[in-house]
């Protein structure tokens, strides 16, 4: 079976979705380790490599491997759209009865995929989470921030969110369809999947170090993911404005009382410092609340615009000529 006939032939049993951004050095070791695992499963499979608008040679390296690995399907996004959007593209295009998502950097061991399938069949569940039992290869900073993130998310979304379960998971076709049908614009899958409530199981694995390249999740993106996760599941930050306002009001009442006493005593002092601090504090509180409000309005704005979150430039399953396809990705300016 060739990659070109993959979209028209019978649906494979398993789709492996691999989002990748600037992973040219990780692709060869990934292929070397993933392929024997998948070939050894004894079922039909496809690997949906989603090249998330990489600016390095990721696409070219993928096409190189695609020549000798017909099950490798390459979906190239026109521009970098982010990890979750790349996952969305992969989930939308995957055709398998089961869909597993895995990082390109071999931090998630491909061998665990076989175990996930076994557990899914044995336990009769729709979702199998890969749970990071050992993060000793991550930096202490990453471990601590990740720990805080999962604690916050379990409070916001509920205890069904498994701690330390990232985006390495197996989904049944029913779960993938349910996810696709959600009108969510910027899905945070590690929260959405548990929120769907499908029967699930867990497989524990040790998180390895990155095989090549650098993390694509600098602090800025980690903060963005944490905010996205919070805002997509909770309006609690908006209520913060009410609490801050109430506090400020109580403080004002106390200050009014104080002012009245001072006035009655006739000891009116210049009072520049207290005025100055009060103005600073209140305007800061107002700006914070406006900012929070603005970020939710921004989400409404994006939802109303309803623009696609990713643009597919190319899918090797649809493209008749691999040669023409090969030119397309490399011509995208960096």
- Sign of the four-CA dihedral 163, 169, 173, 178: positive
List phi, psi (to 5°) of 14: -130, 135
How many residues lie near Mg ion (CB under 5 A)? 3
Which DSSP symbol is given to 211? S
Residue 108 is a binding residue for ligand UDP (CB under 6 A): no
For residue 22, give the nearest of 77, 94, 92, 88 by alpha carbon.
77
Q: Alpha-carbon distance 330 to 60, whole Å?
A: 7
Four-point Cα dihedral 296, 298, 303, 306, nearest 10? -170
Q: Alpha-carbon distance 311 to 300, whole Å?
A: 21
Q: Which stretch binds Mg ion (CB under 5 A): 27-35, 104-112, 267-275, 286-294?
A: 104-112
CB of 22 to ligand UDP, least distance (A): 7
Closer residue to ligand UDP in complex, CB, 35/210: 210
Residue 169 is a binding residue for ligand UDP (CB under 6 A): no
Residue 20 is a binding residue for ligand UDP (CB under 6 A): yes
Closer residue to ligand UDP in complex, CB, 2/137: 137
Closer residue to Mg ion in complex, CB, 21/314: 21
Q: Which stretch binds ligand UDP (CB under 6 A): 18-26, 183-191, 231-239, 320-328?
A: 18-26
Residue 107 is a binding residue for Mg ion (CB under 5 A): yes
CB of 21 to ligand UDP, least distance (A): 3
Range 39-58, binding ligand UDP (CB under 6 A): 52
For residue 78, give the nearest of 110, 42, 51, 114 by alpha carbon.
51
- Sign of the four-CA dihedral 26, 27, 33, 34: positive
- Interface residues with ligand UDP (CB under 6 A) are 19-21, 23, 52, 80, 82-83, 86, 103-105, 107, 215-217
């Amino acid at each position: 079976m060739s990659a070109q006939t993959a979209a028209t032939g019978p649906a494979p049993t398993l789709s492996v979705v691999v989002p990748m951004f600037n992973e040219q050095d990780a692709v060869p070791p990934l292929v070397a380790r993933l392929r024997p695992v998948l070939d050894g499963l004894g079922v039909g499979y496809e690997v949906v490599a989603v090249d998330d608008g990489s600016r390095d040679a990721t696409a070219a390296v993928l096409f190189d491997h695609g020549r000798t690995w017909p099950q490798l399907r390459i979906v190239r996004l026109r521009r970098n759209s982010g990890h979750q959007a790349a996952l969305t593209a992969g989930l939308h295009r995957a055709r398998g009865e089961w869909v597993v998502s895995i990082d390109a950097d071999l931090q998630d061991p491909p061998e665990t995929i076989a175990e996930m399938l076994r557990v899914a069949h044995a336990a009769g569940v729709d979702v199998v989470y890969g749970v990071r039992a050992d993060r000793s290869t991550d930096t202490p900073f990453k471990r601590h921030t990740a720990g805080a993130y999962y604690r916050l998310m379990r409070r916001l979304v509920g205890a069904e969110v498994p701690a330390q379960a990232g985006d390495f998971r197996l989904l049944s076709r029913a779960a993938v369809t349910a996810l696709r049908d959600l009108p969510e614009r910027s899905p945070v899958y590690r929260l959405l999947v548990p929120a769907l409530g499908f029967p699930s199981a867990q497989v524990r694995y040790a998180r390895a170090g990155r095989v090549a390249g650098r993390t694509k999740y600098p602090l800025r993106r980690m903060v963005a993911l944490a905010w996205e996760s919070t805002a997509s599941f909770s309006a609690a930050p908006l209520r913060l404005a009410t609490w801050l306002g109430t506090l400020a009001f109580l403080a004002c009442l106390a200050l009014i009382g104080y002012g009245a006493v001072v006035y009655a005593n006739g000891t009116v002092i210049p009072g520049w410092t207290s005025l100055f601090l009060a103005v600073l504090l209140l305007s800061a509180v107002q700006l914070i609340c406006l900012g929070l409000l603005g970020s939710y309005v921004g989400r409404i704005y994006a939802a109303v615009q309803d623009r696609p979150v990713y643009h597919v430039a190319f899918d090797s399953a649809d493209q008749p000529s691999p040669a023409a396809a090969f030119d397309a990705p490399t011509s995208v300016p960096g």
